[in-house]
Amino acid sequence: MESDTFLMKPLKTIVMVPTYNERANITELVKLLHKSVPQAHVLVVDDSSPDGTFQEVRKLAKKGKNLHLLLRDRSVKGRGWAGRDGFVKALRMGAGAVVEMDADLSHQPRFIPSLLAPLAAGKADVVIGSRYIPGGKDMDRPLHRQWTSNFARYYLKFVLGLKVKDPTSGFRAFSRRALEKIKVGTLTARDPFTVSEILYRCYRAHMRVMEVPIEFIDRTRGESKLGLTTLLKYLGRALWLRLGPNPLA
Ligand SMILES: Nc1nc2c(ncn2[C@@H]2O[C@H](COP(=O)(O)OP(=O)(O)OP(=O)(O)O)[C@@H](O)[C@H]2O)c(=O)[nH]1
Ligand SMILES: [Mg+2]
């Protein structure tokens, strides 16, 4: 009798990486990605970064296979819209699974195989790289920032009814089916709130969400773009997401 493993068709995997001014990190990231998941395609979604990240990607793409660039106009810049367009493009490229991750090396490519395993085994539709389950690790933050991020996590879990320990993680894998079910092309958040919008839709669409541990490391190069005030504004938006019209209707 043939084993399940033999029958399992490998999923075409696309790692989708939104970038804005990540020239200092992109070469190293692409190298690590090809090492950790040599079979995967990498799709960099760049919003015409002034530091020329996309030119670096073009150069790298000429040298190696499996590296693709989606270049967006800076006038529509945004982590959320870039991610949305990246997901749509990945589906068009025939992805069976899509991993999303940051370019700043906070998300380490070596964890991608464990994100993909539950999808390939048909055990989950969405796999979150979690900092807050056994085996996971967050960066060291000052105490006040720990409180803020803990509060934000519990608030999001409560308001959006999310059952995971790390609802704000942006290191995740999705099956093709999950992205289709959540109507990924109709996502609205332009900014990093997209992480919550997507997860909320996954719950609304009754997707099976699972967590696997990851170790998160703080960015060492390039510029940080997200502030505390923005985070606080997200709390109000989360409430609206829950109480507003059904996004999947
Ligand atoms: N395409 C695109 N990517 C973006 C934009 N803003 C941020 N990103 C990318 O989204 C990812 C997450 O952004 P980060 O700046 O690392 O956000 P963060 O991890 O919350 O904060 P820091 O690591 O402290 O800067 C990175 O790969 C960024 O380059 C944007 O407007 N457009
Ligand atoms: Mg970061």
Cβ of 197 below 6 Å from ligand 1: no
Cβ of 103 below 6 Å from ligand 1: yes
Confidence of residue 106 (pLDDT cuts 50, 70, 90): very high
Q: What is the pLDDT of residue 65?
A: 80
User: If we measure between CA atoms, which residue out of 78, 122, 119 comes closest to residue 99?
Assistant: 119
Cβ of 225 below 6 Å from ligand 1: yes
Residue 218 lies in a domain: yes
Instruction: Evaluate if residue 42 carries a pLDDT over 60.
Output: yes
Residue with tokens 């519990």: 154
What is the pTM for the complete model shown? 0.94
Instruction: Evaluate if residue 103 carries a pLDDT over 90.
Output: yes
Q: CA triplet 214, 56, 49: central angle to 5 degrees? A: 80
95 CA distance to ligand 1 middle (Å): 23
Which CATH number belongs to the domain containing residue 162 in this structure?
3.90.550.10
User: If we measure between CA atoms, which residue out of 201, 185, 190 comes closest to residue 246?
Assistant: 201
Range of lowest pLDDT (40-49, 61-70, 89-98)? 61-70
Instruction: Evaluate if residue 94 carries a pLDDT over 80.
Output: yes
Which one is predicted more confidently, 197 or 222?
197
Residue 6 lies in a domain: no
Q: List, as ranges, residues with CB under 5 A of the ion ligand 2.
A: 102, 104, 106, 219
Residue 3 lies in a domain: no
Cβ of 85 below 6 Å from ligand 1: no
pLDDT in tens, 140-180: 888 888 888 898 899 999 999 999 999 999 999 999 999 99
Indicate the average pLDDT of the chain.
93
Pocket test for ligand 1, best of 81, 225, 231, 234 (most atoms within 8 A of CB): 225
Name the domain count of the chain: 1
Pocket test for ligand 1, best of 15, 17, 20, 47 (most atoms within 8 A of CB): 20
Q: Which domain holds residue 26?
A: 11-241
Ramachandran sector of residue 222 (left: φ over 0; alpha: ψ -120 to 50; beta: rest): left
Residue 160 lies in a domain: yes
- Rounded distance, CA 209 to CA 8, Å? 21
Residue 118 lies in a domain: yes
Angle between helical axes of 112-120 and 23-36 (0-180°, round to 10): 50
Residue 143 lies in a domain: yes
Residue 4 lies in a domain: no
pLDDT in tens, 210-248: 999 999 998 877 765 556 787 778 889 999 999 999 999
Residue 198 lies in a domain: yes
Per-residue pLDDT, averaged over 19-31, amounts to 98
Looking at the CA of 195, name the nearest ligand. 1
